[in-house]
Amino acid sequence: MLQGTSQKFRGGCLMLVRDTEGAVGFLGTAFLVHGSGYLLTAAHLVSKPEGLLVVATASGDEYQPMTFDRVAAIPVSIVQQDIAHDVALLKMEQEISIGVPDDFLGSGANVRPGASLMSLGYSFGHEQLHTALSVGSFASAKIRSPNDTQLILFDTMVQDGDTGGPLIHVSDGHIVGVVSGRFEPAEVVRGSADWERSPARDTNISFAVDIDYGIALMRAEGLFEHA
């Protein structure tokens, strides 16, 4: 089941980078949510909207090189964002048609503590590892932050590069969250729209925001008008 879940979503995970005067810096992960080139990611990764690009890498079963000399980068822009709940909707700036799975977006409401989860992301993108990693975990708890954000806690120590990637409910193969980082109770949210990002302790608990916030952005963009 875990293998099938990984294969279903790996091709839809892309590296999120920024081009600053010819120097490309890795930011995190974004993932496809619509065939017209829309992606979701964590809003705090794209606080500066200039020069954003996404990069697709090989997702097959073969052994892949750690780093590619050349990659095809696609410019993206922010079309909707919810800073308070740390989610942003991006769109590829070139006309594109991409296949996405049917019925793949779920809801955090369907996750129960103890459920099997999988996160996907470019865990070591900051170290030039151009491979998306699949990591299994269990749902630890569901909580509401001081600013009423619905968070899913899971027992994996995510890396910085995983941020913005999908959290998947393995039993039904639905994306239920957007990975936001390691969980540090004192620093995650301080009851305002500003997300504090101090370095987390070496905790093995991470968190994702409910995918419902991302779906709300997709509805605001009119992506379900013909569904």
Give me the CATH number covering residue 58. Answer: 2.40.10.120
* Number of domains the chain is built from: 1
- Secondary structure (DSSP) of 174-197: EEEEEEEEE--TTTSB-SSSPBP-
Beta strands in 95-173 (DSSP E): 116-121, 133-144, 150-154, 166-169
Domain of residue 226: give its range.
1-227
Cβ-based neighbour number of residue 150 at 10 Å: 19
Say what the pTM is: 0.90
Looking at residue 227, what is its pLDDT? 42
Contact in structure between 18 and 51 (CB atoms under 8 Å): yes
What pLDDT was estimated at residue 199? 52
Question: Over the chain (227 residues), what is each successive 10-residue block's mean pLDDT?
Answer: 80 93 91 95 95 86 71 91 96 83 91 97 91 94 92 95 97 96 72 51 88 97 73
pLDDT score for 191: 46
